[in-house]
Structure 1
Amino acid sequence: MQTGPVLAALALTLALAFTPAVTPPPPGGDVDYQLGGAVTPTRGVDVVVRDRTARPAAGRYNVCYVNAFQTQPDAAPFWRRHWSLVLKRGGRPVADEAWGEWLLDIRTSPKRAALARIVGPWIDGCARSGYDAVELDNLDSWSRSSGLVTRAQAKAFARTLVRRAHLRGLAVGQKNWSELDGTTLGFDFAVAEECGRYDECGDYVALYGRRVLVIEYRRADFRRACARWGPRLGIVLRDRALSPHGVRAWC
């Protein structure tokens, strides 16, 4: 009798049996995007997205923001201690210039495993804090890597993180990369920055129905998104700095 395959199948069965059920955001619920600082949500807001270092909002569906594929601008000292995990070209870190963030090096299985040992505990912390879901930002960082990172490598790392979140009972939001069918990687909903501006909202709706959280930063794009998708989706206008008391408007 080949006990190896039998034990592996049993382990998988037990893991699936004890995996907590996840709950995606309420369909079409109004969203507040609070990455720049937490404030008491306005009445009528159903979904609140906050940084993983913040506490969730009482009485709302809470999404925990994790920058999973790039570094936070203020985290350079931390990542210099993990310098081998930062993507580099010619010895210099490859950066997302728009946000001042370095890309993480997810090109090999060992590096993805090492990064998962960093990002995974962040996801665990979201669950311990009482969040309902996690947003894994910069899934599309491969497109800013000057050809160093492939789509397949990004998908492989995403699968690992989605699995980790689901094991902690967290739903997982696909952030950007509208051409990707994130449901094949296990994503449960979408967080779509500026899909009104770039005419991508419909791509996410085709995959996730009304479970698409839309954030716009320009008023003209916000009005366009509201006209087309307002009755179906949660859409918020925010200032690009996402300051605690900055611009907020809903359809």
Structure 2
Amino acid sequence: MTPRRGTTLGALVLLVLLVLLAGVPGAGAAAGPSADADRPRALPVGTDADYQLGGVRAVPARVGIVVRDRGAEPVPGRYNVCYVNGFQTQPDERRFWRARPGLVLRQDGRPVADTEWGEWLLDLRTPATRERLARVVGRWTRACARDGFDAVELDNLDSFTRSRGLLTRGQAVAFARLLIRDAHAAGLAVGQKNLPGLRGSRLGFDFAVAEECGRYAECRRYAASYGRRVLAVEYRARDFRRTCRNRAAAWAVVLRDRAVSPRGVRRWC
């Protein structure tokens, strides 16, 4: 049977509309945020960074990136990195961790400590314990995201090197994967701190905080993984000058006092 002209015309009009809609980005998709809406913001390049872990202070106009402790407020209009001690305890949080004794690494019944900073090491030895610890640290990173931070710096990835042989590199890497997963799910970029030979970008780290890489000749390793997305922090003037000379064209480099105190040393290249 020959179709009626009106039916043919209607079909042609519908076909044209479908073709046109197919060329419009997002046409025909359900209303709501785009697939990129929750993707972490990349660490900016071409700006200076301030490292404010020991207390907050005014941020100069030249600084586009600010690192602050997770208990501090982010700075409006800047790229804010939230400091989280992901692999060791903070000295002022011992009461919290005493209530969770199974999560702290122990030897002969006593916590294993990073004696330089008075921090206890977290027990990363089993998958079950790593999952429990990831839930604790995950709450902190989600709080960073709610507070308005753009990224998180996970400190002490190399804690296994201070564990008296109780922890392994593989256990640290396995735990890092869990923390990266949770931070990305919260919309945060994730910064690697320590262990420069790891090539952490392969695990999912997005940038690095290279502490004293000039002093210990480690800057090249961070560059191999992250290119320009590196924040370099030096604590000695001669190391700072060396890192500025070699890396300032690509990286944000800052000189701080070791206590990163609010009134302490702060210089840029």
Fold shared, TM-score > 0.5 on shorter chain = yes
The residue that corresponds to 1:179 in the other structure is: 197
Distance 2:47 2:158 in 1: 25
Question: What are the within-5 Å matches in structure 2 for residues 151-230 of structure 1?
Answer: 151-230=169-248
The residue that corresponds to 2:72 in the other structure is: 54
The residue that corresponds to 2:252 in the other structure is: 234
* Deviation for aligned residue 1:225: 0.7
* Deviation for aligned residue 1:28: 4.0
1:248 to 2:266 alignment: yes
The residue that corresponds to 1:140 in the other structure is: 158
Change (3 A) 1:189 1:118: same
The residue that corresponds to 1:128 in the other structure is: 146
* Deviation for aligned residue 1:29: 2.5
Distance 2:247 2:253 in 1: 8
* Deviation for aligned residue 1:38: 1.1
Distance 2:61 2:213 in 1: 25
For residues 86-111 of structure 1, the C-alpha deviation after alignment (integer angstroms, 9 at most, x for no partner) is 10111111111111101000110111
Change (3 A) 1:119 1:109: same
1:149 to 2:162 alignment: no
Residue 265 of structure 2 aligns with an amino acid whose one-letter code is: V
Equivalent position to 1:80, from 98, 104, 107 = 98
1:92 to 2:149 alignment: no
Distance 1:154 1:235 in 2: 27
Residue 190 of structure 1 aligns with an amino acid whose one-letter code is: A
Distance 1:94 1:134 in 2: 25
For residues 164-195 of structure 1, the C-alpha deviation after alignment (integer angstroms, 9 at most, x for no partner) is 01111100000010110101210000001100
Distance 2:258 2:86 in 1: 20
Q: Which ranges of structure 1 fall in alignment gaps of 5 or more residues?
A: 1-16
The residue that corresponds to 2:49 in the other structure is: 31
State the SS of the aligned residue for 1:143.
helix
State the SS of the aligned residue for 1:142.
helix
Change (3 A) 1:19 1:87: farther
* Deviation for aligned residue 1:156: 0.8
The residue that corresponds to 1:8 in the other structure is: none
State the SS of the aligned residue for 1:183.
helix
Distance 1:140 1:50 in 2: 21
User: Contact 1:93/1:102 (CA < 8 Å) preserved in 2?
Assistant: yes
For residues 169-225 of structure 1, the C-alpha deviation after alignment (integer angstroms, 9 at most, x for no partner) is 100000010110101210000001100100111110111011000100111110111
Count of residue pairs brought into register by the alignment: 235
Equivalent position to 2:119, from 101, 120, 127 = 101
Distance 1:18 1:78 in 2: 37
User: Contact 1:189/1:211 (CA < 8 Å) preserved in 2?
Assistant: yes
Larger Rg: 2
Distance 1:191 1:103 in 2: 20
Residue 139 of structure 1 aligns with an amino acid whose one-letter code is: L
State the SS of the aligned residue for 1:226.
helix
1:114 to 2:132 alignment: yes
User: Contact 1:30/1:47 (CA < 8 Å) preserved in 2?
Assistant: yes
